[in-house]
Each structure stands twice: as structure tokens, then as C-alpha cells.
Structure 1
């Protein structure tokens, strides 16, 4: 299999510029040493011994050139490949003249060119590295030839040839090592990019998850949470770094029970009355952090409610006949007894009690039977603006409510939800009937307000009235069956309304505010729009 080529073009490889900058720094240091050692007459004494004037001129020019090349390279001006070729050529020429002015190869200064050859092998790809070694070798041969012609008389070609061979071997080794290092660096950078991309992908997936995810350190400080966790818990903070106990005390308490090995630490709860019911689970990470998973129980509640309604339907269908027959007999006997004992006031009072309670029991049976008539939920697309307009008109006509007593405000005229229209009718009828009953007709303005609006993730129908509101004691039992403060009420209206909403995947909640007003909200997930469009 052919080995993958990790080599980048020089103009696209920032590592080449960095390496060239390092080499430019070395050149400036070397030129400064060569110049100041000669200028201050420091050892070794052979520097510039043969031709001091030539050495002084070249070393000074080399120092200035090295300074300018360092500036150009650090700024990354020009083409990097041309910069490398030019700088290596300047090094070879300048160092060859310095070697000649100091006494030739006998001084050992020829080894300075090894660094240049190594730089050429590391910085220049392919055959150009060998060409750099060839130029350096040719420069040494020319220096030896000139020295012999000028009257030295000592033949140094063998020394120049050995040094040239060293140049070629060094260039080859430098290029081989450079290629390996560059391949490793490019591979490492590619792996780093893959890891970074994977981290971004994981963050994107976590942020888009319907399940909330939250991470806490050992001190209960939130270090990470996704958007779902923020929505399900009603967290107003947009960045981590806050204490969970201050933000969501209910969850913090359950987490404390879990950490102390409580047998049932996690129970379903609502962070706020207008938020969905959630259930959490937790796991401990090796790093010491705690990972919390927050799940919206709406889907499970919807299935459970549908099963509950089906079971309730079967139950009520089976017992309705058994209850209604004796109830009818009791009611009929009470009527007959009232007719026979009409002259007896005490007996009339007792028969009235029989009639009233018979009617109450019959009303309870009728209410429950409404659930049994539809054993399964049959949702369909409902355009809420049109539906609410027709519904309010129908309710006002049947209940003989004045036109201005109920105000319908529509902020989202195109809102559309998936729900069983008959069950939505039953829920809204109960809410409006309660609102009209508990409203204050003597106050100015509308008695009941119906609002249709939406947020980014949900569509809302809110029903509020101008009455005295719901007491704190009554709120605790608001959706419990057979619990009613209304005269003649069965206590099943709100209970069945919430059950029907859950069966349709919606959520009915009571919203408390500082005015203690009565405001009920039906929340529909807006993501259903794509399925019912």
C-alpha cells in the first residue's frame, strides 16, 4: 500500500515559516558572534587573521543582512520558497568568504556550513536540498582552489571532498528526518482537528437532544448543560458556573438523596407550574463530576393516560348499568314519597336530600361516561384561531354570556395543533365554565380572557378571569378528582381536563402570579407543526 503523503505546499505550510524564522534567529546570533568576537579581539585569534579588512567588511554586512532577513521572515513577507533559496545562498557565500579570510578549512570553520546544509535539507523539499549541499561543496572547492593558486602550496582537496560528502549525507538525513517530523506534525494536527470537530459534533448533538443533560462538579456547581435541560428546568442562566441548589432546589434535594444512597431518590416533579413534568437520573463519572439526565415525561404520560382512559371507559361501561338502575329506583321512590308526604315538612326535607344527592351521583356518572364514549384519542389538525372563535361564540350563546364578557386575543393566527377536537372542546368548555362561574361581574372590563400565543417551542391557550383567584390551600388539590369548592360541582372537571390534555400530548397547568388571579394554560409542543402541516 502506498504511504499517505502528508506534505503540504510550502506556501500553505505555516510550520515552514516558523522553522525559517528559527533559522533566521540562529543566523543573526551567529553573525553577531562572528562580528563581535573579531571586533573585540576575543579568542579564537584566527578569525580574520589572513585578511582582516575583508573579514570585517563581510562580517559586518552579514550581521546587517541577518537582521533584515530576521525581520522579513518574522513578518512572513514574500514567497517562502524564494526566501529560503535566497537566504541559504547568502549564508553559503558569506560563510565561505569568512572561512577564506580566516585561513581556510584548516580553521575548522567549514562545519558552519553543515548547519546551512541541514537547514536546506529540512526546509527545501526534493532535489533542491541536494542542490544546496552541492553549492556548499562547490564553494569549499573554489575556496581551496583559490588558496592554492594564491600561493598557499598545500593541497586540501581531500579535506574539501570529505567535507562535501558530509554535506550530502547531512542533507539527505536532514531531509529524511524533516519529512518524518513534518508527517508526524501534519498527522498530529489532523488528529487535533478531528478531535475538535468531534467535540463540536458532540456538543451539537447534546444541544439538540430532547433529553436534558447537565454536569455538576463535586461542589454542586453546574459545569455544563444543554438547551433542553435549560428549558425543562426553567433555568434563566445562559452560561454554566452557578449552584444547582439555588437554581433548581427540588433537583438538588433529589440529587442529595441519590448521593446518600436513598432507595427512591428520584421522583417526577415540575420545576415550575408552567413547565412539563420531568424525571431525572444520574451517574458518577471517573473525573468526580456527576452527569444528570433530565427526561420529559410527556410522551410516557400521554401513553399512560390513553391506557388509563381506555381502562376507565371499560370500567364505567361495565358499572354504569349496575349503578344507574338502583339509582333510578331510589330517585323514583323519593319522588313518590315526596308526593305522598307533601304535607309533612320534615318528610319533604328528607326527600329533597334524596333527590339532590341522587342528581349529584347521576352527574358524576354522566361526567365519567363522557370519557368512556371515546376510548381512543383521534387527533387531527386544528387551526386554533378559527376553532376558538367558533367555540367562544357557541359557549356565549349556550351559556347566555354577554358579548363583551369574554375577550378572545389571538397573537398567533396561524397556530395549528394536533388534538382530538371533541376532547379539546370538553377541556375548553370546562375552563370557560369555571372562569365564568368564579369571575366578578361587577368589575369593569371583560370577565374572562382567552389568549392564543406561542413561544419558540410551544403554543399556548390561556384562560383567565377577573375573580378573586385561587387560594393557596385550594391550589394543592386543584387537579385532584372529587375535590371541588363549587356548589354542586363533582370535582372531576379539572381532573378530566388534565387527563384529556395529557392523552393528547398537551399539558394543562395553573399559573400563579403576584395578583393571585386564576389563569390556566394549555401547552402544545410546537414541533408537532411539521407533522400536521
Structure 2
């Protein structure tokens, strides 16, 4: 049921369906009479009048259907007009076919039901009253004209049926309308929730990957594509072909192996990922992918804080006796300055005391490390200034150290002081191992970017790192450099991880290249 002020498209569709019904009924009543088809009572009392009325009914049905298509005038007014028109013409058809005994009075029930469904309560009851008066008028006219047996009981039964069906149709219409409104509201809510879920999944930092029962990738969000290095072209491909490392762990998880998922890298240049999986009722599996950089960043900050507390607590205990040993060596050297053996032994004492002191100084730098205070750093001008300072200190020419960039406006989000410490350490290592007598630059610095990261490469023309040393490159206190503490690269990696960046060694034997990767979500980038 609709109000006079607000009409939804569903009501117009219902009226259009009723218009098609009227058109079909009018065409049937006209065709049966025109082609002399059974039943024979149609138009039995006045064939000429029946032919005229049935033609009018058919033509009017076409006109009313067209007006309904065009949604002409007010809905309630148009509906009421059509119902009254049906009652009048059907009453004439009933009369020309012999009256109520023909049984055509039952066609009025459909009209009354339509009135109870389509228009407000009082108008629907008014339609039922008009239909009842019409059949009573037909019965009275039949008696006055003496054209047959009076059917007051049949007219009364039809009238009661009209009112009963009208009230029942209104009750059912109200329930159907409420049900429809609830269903439409639920559908809108479900649609909004689906759109919201899709937006959240596509934007969330956690990667989401759906694998079907055949082991094919059926869906993944943007983060999963970036973490695994896959694109839309690999959708519906086998997981084993797209990401073999993840496929192996996923297979172990399906076989209920404990600790099946471990951190891995889909490719060396991609971030480290830790996967989790759950089985869906549909038979598919949902894999969550977490970038371990954030977790590593927190872990590294805790590690640095713990190391700081430890070093601070023991530094005093170590440095005091170390100072005494160094001072005693100096005194011994002065007392027996003429003895070469004494000079040799005291030199050993001083050299190793200095080395231990250097280790303590490095550890104390870590202990004094303040919390990370990141800011936006525009790499190119910042690197130009740093390279100029490094070249001046180490007396390097512009030909010996080269800086180039593919993204001159690249910016990163990092603690500037800590980044300077990392790059200085890498440059000093590169300068130490570089071949100084060869043509071309000894040290090359290059800045590049892709859709996921800004990459800063520092390479030298030296012999590179041996395969044996590469396995322990970032371990503390491991160094093949004479006089090295073995803490430089370890500290550089720790500081990168504390800032959410990643320090990796990309060189092979004969080449040497270190790369700092700054994640896309933690920096601004303008190409």
C-alpha cells in the first residue's frame, strides 16, 4: 500500500502488471466473442452491445497501459480511475452476457484485490463499495426489466466477497510492504558492508591471499601483491608457480605440520614476510601476510635498549681497569725506553688497549642512542651535502666518488642522524676495500625507486665479500678487516631496522654492493 505523497517504483511496477492483466483480459473477452469460441454465454443477451463494450475495453486497456508506462498524473488518481473504469465496463459486459448467472462477476474480485493492494485504505474500501453497488444495480435492473431470475443472494455474496478480499488484501499488502522494506534495507546494509569490507581489505597493510581447493590464487589485495611481487596477470595461477616459497609452507600447513609458516622472502629484493592461514567453509584457504619489518623494528628498538642498559652497566667496570692497564704500559715504556723488547711489548699493550676502548666506545654509542625521531629527508640534496663532507675529509675527487639518481625528488621517512651514521659506515667500508689505482669511480651511490620502495645502493670497485664472510656479514664482532671491531655493519643493520628500513648485501664475489630499502608506506615519493 502506498501513500498519496510518496510512491516507490515497486508500486508503479505493480500497477503496470495489473494493466497488462487488464489488456490480456480485454483481448481474451473480445477474441472469444469475435471468433465464436466457447463459452457461448458471452454476449448472449445483447451481442451488439457486448461487441461494442468489449472493443472499448480493449482500446481503453491499451491506452491505460500506455499511461501507466508514462506514469501519467498522480499514482493514486490514475489507479482509482482505472479501477472504476474496470468496474463499469465489466458490469456492462456482465449485463450483456445474461447477468450474474453468467459467472463473470468473479472477474470483479481481481479488480477489488488490486484496489486493496495498490491504493490507500479508504479508497480501497470505496472501490469495493462501488463494485458491490454495481452488482446490486445489475441484479435490480434484471428484476425490473424482467430479463431473468433475480440473483440478490448471489449479488450479496459477491459484495461480501469484495469487502472481505479488500480488507485481506490490505492486511497482506501491509505485511508484504514491511517485509519488502526490511529486505531492501538489509540488502543496502549488506551492499554497504561488502563495499566497506572490500575497501578495508584492499587498503589494509596486512596482505590477504585466497587460495582455492586446487591450490590456485583466486584473490589477493594490494598489500599481498606488493609483499609477494605478484600482479593481476597471475590471478588464478597455481600458488606453487607464483610464490614457490609460500606454496611449500602452505602445503606443510595443510598437512598439519607444526610451525609450518616461517619468515621468508618471495624474492631477494622484497621484504621479509610471515604468513598465517585459516580454512574457509567454502573449501578455500585464507592466507594473511605480515610484513615483518614493523615487528623487526620494534624488536630492534627493544634490543638496542637492552644492549644500552647492559653496556652502560659494565662500561665503567671495564674502562677503569683498561685505563689503568694503558697507563701502566705508558709508564713502563718511559722507564725502560732503551730496551727494544720492552718497547715491543708496551706497543702491543697500547694497541690492544686502544682496540678494546674502540669496542667500548661503539657499544656506548649504541647505549646512548636516543629513541628514533624520524622526519622527511629529501635524499638528493641531503646526499650531495654528505658526499661533499665525506670527500673533503678523505680527500676524494669528484671522479672517485659518484652520485646519481633516477628520482631526484625522492623523500624518505627516517631519523636523519641515524641515516647519516649508517651511510658513513658504508662509505668508510667501501673506501677501505676500494681499488684506488684503477680508472673510474671507486665508490658509486645510486638512488632508484619502484612501486614499493625507494632503494639506495652503495657499491665500490673492490674485490667484494667472500662467500664465507657473506654468511656472517652482519654478525656482531665478526670482521676480516685488520683492526675492525666487527660492529659497524651490525650497528648499521640494527639502525635501519629500528627505522623500518632494510639493509641487504647484494654483491657477489668480485663485486660489492649494499642496499638500503625504504618502504613505500613509510615515506613520501614524488617522481
CA distance change for structure 1 residues 332 and 271 in 2, over 3 Å: closer, same or farther?
Answer: farther
Unaligned runs of 5+ in 1: 1-5, 343-347
Q: 5 Å matches for 1:196-345?
A: 196-237=191-232, 240-316=235-311, 318=314, 320-321=318-319, 324=322
Does 1:448 pair with 2:444?
A: yes
C-alpha deviation, 1:198, in angstroms: 1.8
**How far is the alpha carbon of 1:126 from its aligned partner?**
2.3
Equivalent-residue separation in structure 1 for 2:493 and 2:197 (angstroms): 37
* Higher mean displacement: 272-281 or 230-239: 230-239
| Deviation for aligned residue 1:53 | 1.4
Displacement after TM superposition at 1:425 (Å) = 1.8
- Determine the C-alpha separation between the residues in 1 that align with 2:66 and 2:96: 28
CA offsets per residue over residues 160-212 of structure 1, 9 Å max, x none? 34322321221111111111111111111111211222222222233333322
The aligned counterpart of 1:172 is 167
- Residue equivalent to 1:39: 34
C-alpha distance in 2 between matches for 1:253 and 1:33 = 71
Q: Find the aligned partners of 1:361 and 1:151 in 2 and give their Cα distance.
A: 134
1:22 to partner: Cα distance: 2.5
Q: Which position in structure 2 is the counterpart of 1:406?
A: 402
Instruction: After TM superposition, give the deviation of residue 440 of structure 1 in Å.
Output: 6.7
* SS in structure 1 at match of 2:503: strand
Distance 1:64 1:474 in 2: 98
Deviation per CA, 1:137-172: give whole Å up to 9, x if none: 232233334434444275444543432232122111
1:327/1:22 CA distance change after superposition, 3 Å: farther
What whole-Å deviation, never above 9, does each CA across 1:274-331 have from its counterpart, x for those lacking one? 3332222222233322222222222332232123223434555527549957995999
| 1:92 corresponds to 2:87 | yes
SS in structure 2 of the partner of residue 309 of structure 1: helix
Cα offset, 1:117, TM superposition: 0.6
Q: Is the aligned partner of 1:415 residue 2:411? A: yes
Matched, 1:377 2:371: yes
SS at match of 2:269: coil
Are 1:121 and 1:175, in contact at CA under 8 Å, matched by a contact in 2?
A: yes
**Secondary structure of residue in 1 paired with 2:232:** coil
Q: Using a 3 Å threshold, how does the CA distance of structure 1 residues 10 and 175 change in structure 2: closer, same or farther?
A: farther
Partners of 1:316 and 1:368 within 8 A in 2: no
Instruction: Report if the CA contact (8 A) 2:435-2:442 is conserved.
Output: no
SS state at 1:518 partner: strand
1:346-405: CA deviation from partner (whole Å, max 9, x where unpaired): xx9x99x97999499559726743644524434253534454333222111112121343
Give, in whole Å, the separation in 1 of the partners of 2:468 and 2:69: 76
Shift of 1:244: 2.2
Which of the residues 8, 30, 33 maps onto 1:13? 8
> Would you say the 8 A contact 1:465–1:519 is kept in 2?
no
Deviation at 1:15, TM superposition (A): 1.8
CA RMSD of aligned residues (A): 4.1
CA contact (8 A) 1:483 1:492 kept: yes
CA distance in 1: counterparts of 2:378 and 2:460, whole angstroms: 20
Equivalent residues in 2 for 1:57-72, closer than 5 Å: 57-70=52-65
For structure 2, the residue ranges without an aligned partner over 5 or more in a row are none
How many residues align structurally? 516
Matches of 1:460 and 1:8, distance apart in 2: 66
Deviates more, 1:332-341 or 1:160-169: 332-341
Matched, 1:395 2:390: yes
For residues 464 and 496 of structure 2, the distance between their equivalents in structure 1, rounded to whole angstroms, comes to: 23
Alignment correspondent of 1:3: none
Q: Does 1:112 align with 2:112?
A: no
For 1:403 and 1:116, locate their aligned partners in 2 and report how far apart those are by CA, in whole Å. 97
The match for 2:128 among 133, 146, 153 is 133
